[in-house]
Amino acid sequence: MPQEPMYYGTYLGLDKILDSQHPVSFQNNNQPAHDEMLFIIIHQAYELWFKQILFELDYVLNVFSKEKINDNSEDINLVRHRLHRIIKILELLNQQVSVLDTMTPLDFLAFRNLLTPSSGFQSKQFRLIEAKLGLQLEQRHQSAYYKKNNEGGFTQTDYHTINEAESTKNLQQLINNWLERMPFFDAEFWSNHSTNHFTEHTFWFTYRNIYQDGLTEREATKIIDFDYVLFEQKPDDLSEEQLQYLRSNFSPKALRAALFIMLYRDFPVFQTSYQIVDALIEIDHLLSNWRHKHLIMVRRMIGMRVGTGNTSGAGYLEGALSKHYVYRDLSALSTYLIERSKLPKLPESLIKHLGFV
């Protein structure tokens, strides 16, 4: 049998997609609300892009789950490329908020009650993106909200899927392991350097001195942060509150490797690793930008009313915005940078060997 020629609408499943917009206000004896169509389509467009983000994330997770990663392989270059694609999608998702902004609060009120108790809070795909990037249940703002499976919560099946993603190794943990495995300080590359009990390697001992010399009087105590964050060393009088503030999801060894990559990024061998670290920071920022834009839009749309999903509304969203970062510890490494001109010179043998992990 000759095959039917491919047809645009069939290939894209358009019959199904374009028959999936059913404004509730147009049904039964409700008063049709013109803007409900926009409300549905914009959510669907978000969910389609979430699907693409998850597709890219799964590829990235798969590469970093491998026992050994060759930093010179096409895998790692594709990781860089696909993280960059996620960035571009998130930029688009941020812009998309302005389309929804063309709906006024009164337009929304015309159909809002018909949605209750459904809410974007229940977006399984959004939760999977967060979980796969590394956000854990206990780090979530008002984590009790996530466990409820009554009105406004998740269905049992969605709850189970999200839980499963949370208990699988996430990208933050895998990146931590990848950074820890970086061979920057293998003895063979540093013939003239010895180990040092405080900073483990004399490179860091030298670096610490340069860093401390560069601190202004007001910043002098940053050396305490430096010692704790990068070497787990602390004076006895450091309070639990200060420790809490400095504690990181990344190990000190991984953070040292990330800092090293940031410092020596101008060497071609560090470029891909640097771009990966930087992309993760950017993804975190763009998600945070989206949370902020969404929050401002919600405040304008419903003021201080509770959300249809039964959270406190803008209050909950504000908490999530300030807490739901995953890669804040990587961006915070800027605290410990020194000027390019003061960077210690790297041994030739290290430069030559890097890139062949």
Residues that bind ligand HEM (CB under 6 A): 42-43, 46, 100, 108, 119-121, 123, 126, 291, 294, 298, 301-302, 307-311, 313, 316-317, 320
Shortest distance, CB of residue 150 to ligand HEM, whole angstroms? 13
What is the per-residue DSSP string for 168-222? Answer: SPPHHHHHHHHHHT--TT-GGG-TT----TTTSSHHHHHHHHHHHHH--GGGTTH
Shortest distance, CB of residue 152 to ligand HEM, whole angstroms? 6
Shortest distance, CB of residue 290 to ligand HEM, whole angstroms? 9
CB 103 within 8 A of CB 35: yes
Give the nearer residue to ligand HEM in terms of CB position, either 23 or 307.
307
The two tokens of residue 5 are 């020629």
Shortest distance, CB of residue 172 to ligand HEM, whole angstroms? 17
The two tokens of residue 57 are 């994330």
Give the nearer residue to ligand HEM in terms of CB position, either 173 or 288.
288
Shortest distance, CB of residue 351 to ligand HEM, whole angstroms? 43
Eight-class DSSP state of 242: H
How many residues does this entry show for the chain?
Answer: 357
Give the CA diameter of the chain: 83
User: What are the CA-CA distances from residue 162 to residues 22, 64, 137, 249, 284 (Å)?
Assistant: 27, 20, 10, 20, 19
Give the nearer residue to ligand HEM in terms of CB position, either 111 or 204.
111
Shortest distance, CB of residue 356 to ligand HEM, whole angstroms? 42
Give the nearer residue to ligand HEM in terms of CB position, either 261 or 286.
286
Shortest distance, CB of residue 326 to ligand HEM, whole angstroms? 13
User: What are the CA-CA distances from residue 268 to residues 45, 261, 299 (Å)?
Assistant: 38, 11, 46
Give the nearer residue to ligand HEM in terms of CB position, either 181 or 291.
291
Q: Alpha-carbon distance 354 to 71, whole Å?
A: 9
Give the nearer residue to ligand HEM in terms of CB position, either 94 or 331.
94
Per DSSP, the three-state class of 150 is coil
Is it true that the peptide bond before 105 is cis, omega within 30 degrees of 0? no
Give the nearer residue to ligand HEM in terms of CB position, either 51 or 352.
51
